[in-house]
């Protein structure tokens, strides 16, 4: 993972979520297979444990994003909104957990 962890204040620039296909013979580390724009720097990403095409990310601005990487367009399938019960500080960890026969996406942020 690449990221900028030395913010001294609120993140005001956009980020990018990049993926590489490791099944290919040659990987160019300077050119990602997919580069998806994000509204803020990503702090955490985690792939779904059963559906590897789904990936969740937690951003510095408090947003949680879920991407479906099997799509050719509109890969962003869900983005959290800044609501009263949502994160308002950086999301430091996202994690898929299997509870009661269902996968849940849990998040941890600087605000709890």
Tens of pLDDT, residue by residue over 56-72, are 999 888 899 999 999 98
Per-residue model confidence (pLDDT) at position 5: 59
Q: Which residues contact 59 (CB under 8 A, 6 or more apart)?
A: 15, 38, 39, 40, 41, 42, 43, 65, 90, 91
DSSP of 53-94: TEEEEEETTS-EEEEETT-SS--EEEE----TTS--S-EEEE
| Residues 17, 35 contacting (CB under 8 angstroms) | yes
Q: Which tokens go with 87?
A: 């994160």
pLDDT in tens, 68-109: 999 989 999 999 876 677 787 888 899 999 989 899 999 998
What's the Cα-to-Cα distance from 80 to each of 61, 65, 90, 96, rounded to whole Å?
A: 11, 7, 13, 16
What is the residue whose two structure tokens read 């308002």?
A: 88
Give the model's pLDDT for residue 2: 53
Sign of the alpha-carbon torsion through 27, 21, 69, 109: negative
CA-based nearest residue to 63, from 6, 20, 11:
11
Predicted TM-score (pTM) of this structure: 0.83
Q: Which two tokens stand for residue 6?
A: 């030395």
């Amino acid at each position: 993972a690449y990221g900028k962890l030395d913010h001294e204040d609120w993140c005001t620039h956009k980020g990018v979520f990049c993926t590489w296909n490791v099944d290919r013979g040659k990987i160019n580390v300077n050119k990602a297979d997919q580069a998806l724009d994000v509204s803020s720097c990503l702090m955490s990403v985690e792939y779904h444990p059963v559906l590897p095409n789904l990936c969740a990310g937690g951003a510095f601005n408090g947003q949680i994003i879920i991407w479906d990487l099997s799509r050719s367009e509109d890969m962003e399938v869900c983005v959290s909104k800044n609501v009263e019960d949502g994160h308002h500080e950086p999301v430091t960890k996202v994690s898929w957990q299997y509870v009661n026969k269902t996968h849940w996406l849990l998040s941890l942020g600087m605000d709890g």
